[in-house]
Structure 1
Amino acid sequence: MLPTMGSASAADPQRLTVDLAASEGPVTLGANGALYGLGDDGVPSDAALEPLKITSISQKPEGGAQHPNGDALSVSKSFFRNGGGEINVMMQDIYAKWPYEDLGIDDYLPKVDKITKQIAADPNSDRFVYIPFNEPDFIWYKLNLTDQAAYEVERDRFFAHWKTVYHRIRAIDPDAVIAGPNETGYYPRFLRDFLTFAQRENVLPQIMTWHELSSGSLRDFQGHYDNYRALERELGIGPLKINIDEYANRRDLSVPGQLVQWVSMFERNKVYANMAYWDAAGNLSGQVVRSNIPNGGWWFFRWYAGMTGDTVQVTPPQPNAIDTLQGLASLDASRRQAQVLLGGSAGDSDVVVRNVPRSVFGRTVTATVAEAAWSGYEGQHAAPQVLTRTKLKVADDGTVTVPLRGMSKMSAYRIVLTPGGSGTPSPATVPWSASYEAEDAAITAGQVYTQGTVSNANGYAASGTKDVGSLNQAASKVDFTVSVPKDGTYDLAILYGNQSGGPATQKLSVDGGDPVPVSYPSTENWTYRAKKDVGIRLTAGSHVVTLAKGDAEVTLDRIGLTARTGAPSASYEATLADISGRPSYDYSSSNGVGTGSLVLRTGDKAVFDVYAPRDGYFTVVSRASAPVKLRLHGETVTAAPGQPLRLYLVAGNNRVAMTAGHASVRSLDVSGNGSTTGTLAYEAASATLSGGAELVDSAHASGGSYIGSLGNSPSSTAEFTVNAPKSGRYLLVVQYAHNERRDNGHAYNTDIMSRTADITVDSGAPTRATFKNTWSWDDYWTQGVPVDLKKGSNTVTFGNATGWAPNIDRIELGRVVGQLAH
């Protein structure tokens, strides 16, 4: 059941209170960082990275042996061009082993010199932070010993090494920003000693760091923070900037309802924080699917990045408690917007917003409520569903109450309050949906496993904390009893895991009918959840939906059914877009969809994050008072008010920029299934190969073969001849696979590699594209690259002179601005 504006259930709703008059200071956006969040330049994509406005990330030094990618200088170009803040360099990740091999301080110091020289020579050296030691309380030193005398010996050894390394860094980079001590947790005895020593010896870090990794941190962090600030005051230090440079556990990452609990406490205290690195580099700690596709966690952080103005005080039902309803809120008086992000608990809640300023909002507000659901670590999530859009009267005491009913524990919710103005907002249209847990279904030859509980916080998240695995027998199946309200087509969403080594199938049947195969792409492991979407026709009433073993084992977590009401569509509200320049906000009318209008003038720009379920053409309509210009994939097109455009979108997120001479814009509306009508497609067999590149037969490739052994030599190329009907900007979509890995022997990280290819059109300059690992040599993903083609024959050549390119299955090209059907 989805939250509605209806009456409460029998139990009293929880109450979360927001006080718009109690400012906590400007929104910091400090809690959106990640350790090894970037894997390579382009992983994640610019379109996935830029919208999140990330303030800090942590990466290894250039050439570090801890992992095969994620080098700080290599990813810095991507990070900085997408508006990133600062990069923490984990200097000890120069070592290969975990815990780091202890070869003595004399072995470490030349490495410190080399790392510092590299960073100091970078044009953006002022945006790097040196972290000389990582978790020194248990790596190289024993700083948590209960025996005081033994502790002091270890402590003093660390202090001597800290001072030595600190001076080595400063000798090379006098303006270096140094962070530490970077313990595994918060240890007040050691911190008191460390700060006393560092102050006396003039080797204080400029940024204080420690880790908060257990579920208990949701309860204890506020006490840690308060204790630390009191310690600073007592010693006459700081206040120093704080970066909790590793936070959260596997069960938290990708889960909006978990993430809101962490982010709210960090933002409230204005500290910076980076999510931990438990799995593979390059997905922002589990928030990005493949390279460019949002999951539910990504949308939560996109909401967080959209908060402006000041944060304001939020009082949850149970402050500083594990796995409970928590939230954060902001007020931007200049934009006349208040936002509340909340989640972490199931059931009903009343969000009570106090001290709503009449001078900003007037006597009524429009309350827009949306949900970012959990879709798995690798499960795609469309633009969050708007659940309700309602005009509410501000009470005489300045209070507005927004009721949410039937909340999901794993979801996060956003409430946006804007002035009500005249008219009536269009009610949100929410299709019927229901979900069914695999562990509650009838299971044959399978086993229920418990995942991601507080007592097993480093386990992967699962819906309802359980899933069904070991479905590896011929008779293995799960029978779900479902009930739907009417005849029609339903979208079946299957949360699954597939560690079988390649695409795996199950047999889907309804009421014992003829089975049809469902194919599941590979995932990192059995519990690293992805989502498969399938359409099925059902008649009104009860049915048994069966998923039985096919050619390999698949783990099942949950299925969801949603009534299909037409082609997918979303309305992206202009007042919530990213802006530059000085546009104004007009809330005089709340009629229709949208929270008001954004008024663009010359020099202003609004950027919309537009989701596409697949590569292809979609219908885009500007709801504006005058023509606007849209820029997408380097192409600019004029959009007349209310008139459809046919634009090519890549799977996942697309950044669409809007400018105008003078236009009042309510929304950008996008609909469609991703049509490929009018695109150009070429299978691997049509390419001319040279220099060792070869055509390889494969049952999993779309045309029965792929191009392998491509690259690793200047002469190894694949050349496609492309006939373009018109000159202009096209999207080249490459369907590829590769599963190159380098096992660095780390205890728990999966060290996947990316591959690159240089793409050349005719005799032009090559474009380098990065292709993320697809988890299997037989699983094909897509990557979109904008190219310019002339009318008629063009050659598109793939190569890589110094390394292997991915295996290429096929290519497809579509003009960015397509022709509308007549």
Structure 2
Amino acid sequence: MVAATTSALPAQAQAVQQVRVDLGQRTGEFLGDSGGVLYGLSDEGVPSDNTLEPLRMHSINQKPPAGAQHPNGDALVVAEPFFRTGGEYIQMNVQDMYAEWPYENPGGVVPCNQVCFDDYMTKLAWVVDQASRSPHADRFVYVPFNEPDYIWYELGTGDEAAYRTRMAAYLNHWKQAVTYIRTHHPGARVMGMNDATFRHRNYTDFLTFARDNDVLPDITSWHQLPSDSLDPASGNYFRTTYRTYRELERELGISPRPININEYGGNRDLTVPGQLVKWTAMFEEAKVAAGGKAYWTAAGGLAGDVVQTNKPGAGWWFYKMYADMNGGQTVRVTRPDTTTVDAMEAIAVMDDRRRQARIVAGGTASDFDVVVDGAGAFGRRVNIVVSATTWSGQNSDAGPPEVLFRGDVTPSPGGRVTVPIRGLDRAGDGGANADLMAAYEIVLTPGGKGTGAPVSRPWRAVYEAENARITAGTVRTQGTLENWNGAPASGTKDVGSLNQADSAVTFDVTVPVAGRYRLGVMYGNQTGAHSQQALTVNGGQARLVDYEATMNWTWRTRADVVVDLVRGRNEIRLGKSHPAVGTAVGEATLDRLDVERVTPPAPRLYEAELSQTTGPVGFAYDQREQSGSGHLTLKRGGEALFVVYAEQDGYYDLDFRHSASRQGAVAEVGLDRREVGVLRGRPGGRFWDGDRQRLFLSAGVNRVTVRATAPLRLDRVVATQATGPVRSVEAEDAVLAGAAAVRSQVNASGGEFVGGVGNGAANSVTFEVLAERGGEHMLVVHYANDERDTGHPYNTDIISRPLDVSVNGGASVRHWFKNTWSWSNWWARGVPVTLEKGRNVITLFNDPANGATAPDCPAPCRPVLDSGWAPDLDRFEIAPIRIS
């Protein structure tokens, strides 16, 4: 249970750890630079703009133009989507021009000799030529060498004589590379030395030489992994290293450089909110940028935080919490444990303009209290909203953070408020440790005026597979501190090798009332195709549960099944076989079982005062009929951005509650940065008025904006599932041309799909649409794509495939479709098209002539960015984006 109390209420029965937040002790402007990622973007639109803009990322780390290290992630390709969604600069690892890992050394010796360096300089010159002519030239930052302590120079050696020889070679090469960049790309910034591990010796020699030869980096960088620390036994991975580096600058008389930790975190940390808060808190405390969550998996998904193309995982929602702190000042946070690695961390800000405090805390399996001093600044009553997001796996989406508490409290006479955090799970086997993987957001605002919506949470329980009854299966440990490069698992264990005829995992599940329940089976499936298990409930009729393929056995997604359970104990068995259904296909690793009572879909409430804002926007807390604790006052040009979540593609009613003194249109409503409607003032009636827009939303997150064209007050947006005119077309029923052909696949809609599309405009799919009125429509493409590159030691080099879309014979528009992990996984992506009233003809193809190519580049670069083929096509849905 989570509640807000004050010191005047009875003490908890058991003492718990406390994190203390002092709103009166400011520690500097909130930087917000720790949400970056390495190879997080792969292509135009992958991931979607909807998933980028709300995170307010400052910097990312990508390969240089036509780099051979990976098949996608070209800095020039992803520059446009990154910068149009608010990004500040892109780092380019110049050595990613090479194809191998570690990078091939043309000279064949350590340190990199003249043959090696001449080859490198040829590549560097080409990269500089391309980047300097880009329209975004001033927003690229060069990283000349990546991990020189490990690659080409091996500066981590304990042999002092070898170190001196190697360091001398490296420093000479650094000077030549930086001089070339600054000569041929005036004003360009460079970053270094970018070691894999911070070593005092290395950076002392590097900074001394760079100072004396006028080649200091504009930004200092290194990588911070869990095992690479001056204080590895504590939870202060970065803090000790940071203090050591700043002292080194002072000793050398060097002005403080901006710092960018452009690779951080172990695989066990990625996608896990409770782990990510620990890293982010350290970086924010030091006011440094962290431009790269480590790249342990695959490109194009923000290190696993974006599922498919537009769906957020729990890690995405954590970084959204972090981004929402923008505009405030950080305040003093006192942690109860400063030595243990897996201990609680927190970030807190006070925003005087918004009259809001925001706290993000987590990373512990134990109950804890957040003690807030200085809350009296909000008045006699303080409104508190507590929300939480916990790990959802790397490839299963998560809804918005769950609201655990919403209400007003009275601070103590000294201005203190205590917020007890008592966990997410209210039932289960007690071994899930979901709290350890969770992050909690606490928002404080002035209270006493608004009318908060009651908190309603469906009954939920979590059961760990390793705690169930296991037959012919193996329990494995995953993602522990000792195995920090292993992928995370709920409870740090899973059950695999469930491939024998009698293999089974049997859960004893206890529920409070009889009824319909949703079983969320979290699993991994590395078979490359759909697999199955036989499900029985209380020994009843068996059925097969389908599991789509995942990247590997430890890459988690979720399969949802609805079952009827009896009150009290239920036996749920997932097995390899059952006499009634036979032997299941394939194999799966089981991690945990989420059990949730099925309830009717509820509207989602988005309070305006908690939205992201730009321009002339004020915050008010003075209307008794306002929803929540406050509302916005927007002047002309002021904008509020709401991140509206949709469980599935389809229509939703968006109800806007607002007030204006002017008759007629007072604001433009936008969906994904396209205007779709207006809000109208109707003075003379009730204070709060309303407008409804029925819009087609894409599954996942959608950007809904309200931009004032006249002064208005904005209170809230409520999103409710609705219906509308959606037409569905099977790909096999369309007109096929050239090599496009109908093929069979059991998991495709209707058992058939169309392949062979692309490799020329003549190989196409065409269908007709009758539009009741002209305008923008959403075309949802259900597709599969498992094209891959080969050979990288630990990254899965997936490749996106493009689809050219032409309407009524007009110029085509190209959209990219991310890898689906298997040719039998059918995902969906919506793309906008503009139709005329009446009959329209839509043609889909892939003409390589429409793709971007790079000029001749030094081998082994990748000058062509398109394989020529389109994804396999299953079916299409098309609908007007707005119908009322």
TM range (shorter): over 0.9
1:187 aligned partner, one-letter code: R
Deviation at 1:84, TM superposition (A): 0.8
Q: In structure 2, do the counterparts of structure 1 residues 647 and 404 end up closer, same or farther at CA, with 3 Å as the change threshold?
A: same
Match of 1:713 in 2: 760
Match of 1:636 in 2: 676
Match of 1:487 in 2: 514
Match of 2:489 in 1: 462
Give 3-state SS (helix, strand or coil) of 1:409's partner.
helix
Give 3-state SS (helix, strand or coil) of 2:375's partner.
coil
Is 2:296 the counterpart of 1:296? no
Give 3-state SS (helix, strand or coil) of 1:197's partner.
helix
Match of 2:44 in 1: 41
Give 3-state SS (helix, strand or coil) of 1:455's partner.
coil
Match of 1:573 in 2: 607
For the 8 Å contact 1:731–1:786, the answer to whether it is kept is yes
Is 2:103 the counterpart of 1:100? yes
Deviation at 1:157, TM superposition (A): 1.4
Is 2:270 the counterpart of 1:253? yes
Give me the whole-angstrom Cα distance separating, in 2, the residues matched to 1:238 and 1:709. Answer: 59
Q: In structure 2, do the counterparts of structure 1 residues 733 and 8 end up closer, same or farther at CA, with 3 Å as the change threshold?
A: farther
Deviation at 1:9, TM superposition (A): 6.1
Within the candidate set 762, 766, 771, 2:808 is matched to 762
Is 2:833 the counterpart of 1:814? no
Is 2:218 the counterpart of 1:170? no
For structure 1, the residue ranges without an aligned partner over 5 or more in a row are: none
For the 8 Å contact 2:381–2:448, the answer to whether it is kept is yes
Deviation at 1:639, TM superposition (A): 5.5
1:571 aligned partner, one-letter code: L
Is 2:373 the counterpart of 1:367? no
Is 2:468 the counterpart of 1:441? yes
Deviation at 1:299, TM superposition (A): 0.3
Within the candidate set 630, 638, 641, 1:607 is matched to 641
Counterparts in 2 of 1:145-544, with a 5 A limit? Answer: 145-214=157-226, 217=229, 218-273=235-290, 274-307=292-325, 308-319=327-338, 321-356=340-375, 358=377, 361-406=378-423, 408-422=435-449, 425-544=452-571
For the 8 Å contact 1:688–1:719, the answer to whether it is kept is yes
For the 8 Å contact 1:215–1:322, the answer to whether it is kept is no
Give me the whole-angstrom Cα distance separating, in 2, the residues matched to 1:402 and 1:711. Answer: 57
Q: Deviations over 1:236-293 (max 9, x none)?
A: 1020000011000110000000000000100111111110000100111111001110
Please tell me the root mean square deviation across aligned C-alpha atoms, in Å: 1.8
2:794 aligned partner, one-letter code: Y
For the 8 Å contact 2:626–2:715, the answer to whether it is kept is no
Counterparts in 2 of 1:613-652, with a 5 A limit? Answer: 613-625=647-659, 629-633=668-672, 634-638=674-678, 641-642=689-690, 644-652=692-700
Give 3-state SS (helix, strand or coil) of 1:34's partner.
coil
Give me the whole-angstrom Cα distance separating, in 2, the residues matched to 1:322 and 1:818. Answer: 53
Deviation at 1:484, TM superposition (A): 0.9
Give me the whole-angstrom Cα distance separating, in 2, the residues matched to 1:216 and 1:15. Answer: 29
Deviation at 1:145, TM superposition (A): 2.1
Match of 2:774 in 1: 727
Give me the whole-angstrom Cα distance separating, in 2, the residues matched to 1:198 and 1:14. Answer: 46
Q: In structure 2, do the counterparts of structure 1 residues 623 and 13 end up closer, same or farther at CA, with 3 Å as the change threshold?
A: farther
Within the candidate set 22, 26, 29, 1:23 is matched to 26
For structure 2, the residue ranges without an aligned partner over 5 or more in a row are: 107-115, 230-234, 425-434, 577-583, 661-665, 681-688, 849-867
Deviation at 1:562, TM superposition (A): 1.8
Give me the whole-angstrom Cα distance separating, in 1, the residues matched to 2:804 and 2:30. Answer: 41
For the 8 Å contact 1:94–1:111, the answer to whether it is kept is yes
The farther-off stretch of 272-281 and 389-398 is: 389-398
1:806 aligned partner, one-letter code: P
Give me the whole-angstrom Cα distance separating, in 2, the residues matched to 1:67 and 1:231. Answer: 36
Within the candidate set 574, 585, 594, 1:560 is matched to 594
The farther-off stretch of 565-574 and 796-805 is: 565-574
Deviation at 1:642, TM superposition (A): 4.7
2:714 aligned partner, one-letter code: V
2:839 aligned partner, one-letter code: S
Deviation at 1:46, TM superposition (A): 0.6
Is 2:70 the counterpart of 1:67? yes
Give me the whole-angstrom Cα distance separating, in 2, the residues matched to 1:216 and 1:402. Answer: 35
For the 8 Å contact 1:209–1:245, the answer to whether it is kept is yes
Give me the whole-angstrom Cα distance separating, in 1, the residues matched to 2:71 and 2:393. Answer: 25
Match of 2:113 in 1: none
Give 3-state SS (helix, strand or coil) of 2:760's partner.
coil
Deviation at 1:379, TM superposition (A): 1.4
Q: Deviations over 1:634-657 (max 9, x none)?
A: 351246745654321111111111
Give me the whole-angstrom Cα distance separating, in 2, the residues matched to 1:667 and 1:106. Answer: 61
1:594 aligned partner, one-letter code: G
For the 8 Å contact 2:522–2:591, the answer to whether it is kept is yes
Is 2:714 the counterpart of 1:665? yes
Deviation at 1:494, TM superposition (A): 1.6
Give me the whole-angstrom Cα distance separating, in 2, the residues matched to 1:406 and 1:230. Answer: 40
For the 8 Å contact 1:684–1:707, the answer to whether it is kept is yes
Give me the whole-angstrom Cα distance separating, in 1, the residues matched to 2:12 and 2:227. Answer: 30
For the 8 Å contact 2:771–2:835, the answer to whether it is kept is yes
Give 3-state SS (helix, strand or coil) of 2:749's partner.
coil
Deviation at 1:463, TM superposition (A): 0.4
TM-score (norm 2): 0.89
Give me the whole-angstrom Cα distance separating, in 2, the residues matched to 1:212 and 1:10. Answer: 40
Q: Deviations over 1:367-405 (max 9, x none)?
A: 100001110111110111110012111222222211111
Give me the whole-angstrom Cα distance separating, in 2, the residues matched to 1:795 and 1:783. Answer: 20
Give me the whole-angstrom Cα distance separating, in 2, the residues matched to 1:516 and 1:760. Answer: 43
1:520 aligned partner, one-letter code: Y
For the 8 Å contact 1:56–1:87, the answer to whether it is kept is yes
2:254 aligned partner, one-letter code: I
Give 3-state SS (helix, strand or coil) of 1:272's partner.
coil
Give me the whole-angstrom Cα distance separating, in 2, the residues matched to 1:174 and 1:83. Answer: 24
Match of 2:832 in 1: 786
For the 8 Å contact 1:215–1:248, the answer to whether it is kept is no
Match of 1:50 in 2: 53
Is 2:72 the counterpart of 1:80? no
Deviation at 1:590, TM superposition (A): 6.9
Give me the whole-angstrom Cα distance separating, in 1, the residues matched to 2:608 and 2:518. Answer: 29
Give me the whole-angstrom Cα distance separating, in 1, the residues matched to 2:832 and 2:256. Answer: 47
The farther-off stretch of 719-728 and 520-529 is: 719-728
Deviation at 1:294, TM superposition (A): 0.3
Match of 2:2 in 1: 3
Give me the whole-angstrom Cα distance separating, in 2, the residues matched to 1:769 and 1:417. Answer: 42
Between the aligned residues of both structures, percent identity stands at: 46
Give me the whole-angstrom Cα distance separating, in 2, the residues matched to 1:574 and 1:793. Answer: 41
Give me the whole-angstrom Cα distance separating, in 2, the residues matched to 1:535 and 1:573. Answer: 32
Deviation at 1:433, TM superposition (A): 1.0
Q: Deviations over 1:524-579 (max 9, x none)?
A: 11101112222222232110112223211011111111222311432112112121
Is 2:692 the counterpart of 1:653? no
Give 3-state SS (helix, strand or coil) of 1:33's partner.
coil
The farther-off stretch of 125-134 and 511-520 is: 511-520
